[in-house]
Every structure is written in C-alpha cells, then in structure tokens.
Amino acid sequence: MADNDFPGWHGTTIIGVRKGGRVVVAGDGQVSLGQTVIKGTARKVRRLSPGGYDVVCGFAGSTADAFTLLERLEAKLEATPGQLQRASVELAKDWRTDKYLQKLEAMLIVTDGTDLLVITGAGDVLEPEHDVTAIGSGGNYALAAARALMDSEMDAEAIARRAMSIASEICVYTNGNLTVESIGG
C-alpha cells in the first residue's frame, strides 16, 4: 500500500509498557491528514469497562475504524468476561474474515493489567517480548527508546513518557500531548 493510499497511518504513536506489575499505555494527541496537523489534543488511549472488567486500549490508524474495533472488542469482552486474550483472538478472527471488517485500517494495543497485546487486521494477536510494544508512525522510535530504558530504575509510566518524548522529537507525525492510562500494580 502506498503512503498516499492511507494517510491515517502517519499520525500517531501508541506505546504499552509492562513493568513492576503495572501496565501503562500512552498515546500522543496529534491527528495529521497528509502533511497537515488537524488536531493536537486527540485521545487515542481509552479505558473500557465491560461488566466492571477494566481494559485499557490504544489505537493507531483511522479513528472511525478504531472505534468500530473498540466496540467489537467490548462486545467480545462482555461475552468472555475476564478473558482478554480470548476476546482479542475472537476479534482478530472476525476482523480477518468479515468482509466489512477487513476494510478497517487500524491497530490496537490492549491490556487488562496482566496481558499486553497488539491486535492487527491481519488476524494477529501478538504478545510482545521484553514487556514493551508500540504502534503507529512513531512506534519504532518509542519502542527502541523504551527497550533501552527497561533496565533502568524508572517505573512503567516514566518509561512510557520518556519513550514518547523521544518519539515526538524524531517523528513529525507525533506530538508531546499525551494521554496516559495505567492498570494493575
């Protein structure tokens, strides 16, 4: 897919960091359309609470597509309470096989404080190595920075914030206006 086909991929950075029994998901607030910044304070990290079961989600890609996926994930979590991995696999299966969902262009990082997962439209449910994952245009920068900081004395939130700061200094599609949600520990 050419860069011009889907400019939404170039507009966000989301990171998930698990350390010390706590998981933090942080996302920047920049929304870009092509090379224009449309908004700098978007919330791309959300907390879902289906049936009192807390899950934190961050999304990259098309906002409307991501909200559709979050609604589907919430329904899957209601059907399988307390089983994030199972709900995520069911969502990924639907996303890959349903003709409507196949067109959705987004990625999700989800956590319940225990599991930390990336869900993709290719049918993947990935559990990251090294307790860090990142998605979006600045994802690789944030991931590298966080991996380098994991052995430090910093806690999960401090690592996520510093990694996002580094990504925002490198990626023009990422800014420093963060939404940070934590769960666990």
Residue at 61: amino acid letter = G
Q: Which residues of 2-23 are buried (b: 16+ CB within 10 A; e: fewer)?
A: eeeeeebbbbbbbbbbbbeeeb
Question: Is residue 80 annotated as a catalytic residue, yes or no?
Answer: no
Cα distance between residue 9 and residue 136, in whole Å: 6
Write down the catalytic residue from 12, 13, 133, 174: 12
On whether the CB atoms of residues 139 and 129 are closer than 8 A, the answer is no
44 touches 137 (CB < 8 A): no
The catalytic site residues sit at: 12
